[in-house]
Amino acid sequence: MKKIVPDPPVPPRRPLPPSLLTYEAPLTHASELLQCAYATAYECADSLQGQRRALALSTTHLITQAQDLIDLIIDHLQIDTPPPPTPE
C-alpha cells in the first residue's frame, strides 16, 4: 500500500556531548532505586498509625518529587539523543 501523505520533517536535534550520554544509565538506575524506596516507605506506612504513619507517607511524597526530577532529566536526555539511523 502506498503512503499518500508523507511524514512530517523531523526537527534537527542537537547531539549531546559524550560526557552527558554516560549519565543516562546511572540516572535510570537511581530512578529504579527510588521506585524501590517508594514501595518500601509505602508498605512501612501501611503498618503504622497516627504521626508515624504521616511521617512515613511524607517520605513517599519526597521520594516521588525526587523521582519526578530524575525522570524529567532522563526524558530530556532521550529527547536530545539523536535516533539511530533507519535503514532505507
Contact 68, 25 (CB under 8 A): no
Domain residue ranges of the chain, discontinuous segments joined by + = 32-77
Question: pTM of the prediction?
Answer: 0.62
Position 81 pLDDT exceeds 60: no
Residue 59 has which C-alpha cell? 517520605
Say how many C-beta atoms besides its own lie within 10 A of residue 87's C-beta.
Answer: 4
Say how many C-beta atoms besides its own lie within 10 A of residue 34's C-beta.
Answer: 20
Summarize pLDDT for 25-77 with one digit per residue, the tens.
888 889 999 999 999 999 999 999 999 999 999 999 999 999 999 989 888 87
The pLDDT value recorded for residue 87 is 64
